[in-house]
Amino acid sequence: MNWNETAAAIEKYVRPATFPLAIKVYRPGEELPAGARRPWRDMGVRMASCQVWNTARRYGWTLAAGRDDLACPAGKVILGVEPPVPYYTAGHLCEGMYTATAEAGARTEAVTPRLEYDAQAVLVAAPLARAAFQPDVVVVYGNPAQVLRLVTAALYQSGGALEQAITGRLVCSDLIAAAPRLGAARVVMPCYGDRIFGQTQDHEMAFAIPPALLPALVEGLEGTHRGGLRYPIPNFTRYTAHYPESYERLEAIWQELRDGGAAEP
């Protein structure tokens, strides 16, 4: 698949403010993309996984982050570079922040997808148009209207609805664990960490789709465009507005003058 052409179609019909992303988790034995920046080695910082792809979508870089490059403990478990020890699965990372009790937190952790433990896994993110690899998932950040445009395109051929599961935390789970497994497009709600550390803005959401569904997505963007859907969504402006009484009086004075009458000043 030509990633550049796919990215061009997304940018034409959706106009995202940042680059559409290709994201992949590399396993031992797989060669990382040439020239990929490593956060710790090349920048002297350790990042949350959401920082990795937010840097890629804003800077246009290809980044590769393994265990030594990553900072977020929860994100390390989701990526699989650290094991989900009992302290984690018991819900203590949720307790007092996202849930009232550890027991409630354990239920949240139980439904939060994560990758299998592999200390050598490496997260790679790059602009889709420049990706020199087959991604596990393609991600587009945008405002709700732009994500709406992608949803309608994704459903253009099949109809129906997208299924959602939202916990309000760990967007890394949604993007690198859940989305590739589902085999379907999904709307993603960026979490607090993504907004704090990845600096995703209040108005932004995300859309994730498996690469195999990209041809249908592009067809859907084109088809819905022919059907009249657009971004920016055009406002209906073909109407006559009502104005304050003093404005209407001025119009009446002009009309009296045009009719040859003595208009009151």
3-state helix, strand, coil in the chain (%, to 5): 40, 15, 45
Cis peptide, bond prior to residue 84, ω within 30 of zero: no
Find the Cα–Cα–Cα–Cα dihedral 211, 214, 217, 221, rounded to 10°. 130
Residue 164 is classified by DSSP as: -
Residue 188's pLDDT is 96
Q: Tell me how far CA of residue 52 lies from CA of 93, 134, 160, 178, 206, in angstroms.
A: 22, 18, 33, 18, 15
Note the pLDDT tens digit of each residue in 63-108.
999 999 999 999 999 999 999 999 999 999 999 999 999 999 999 9
The domain limits of the chain are 3-226
Low-confidence ranges of the chain (pLDDT < 70): 262-265
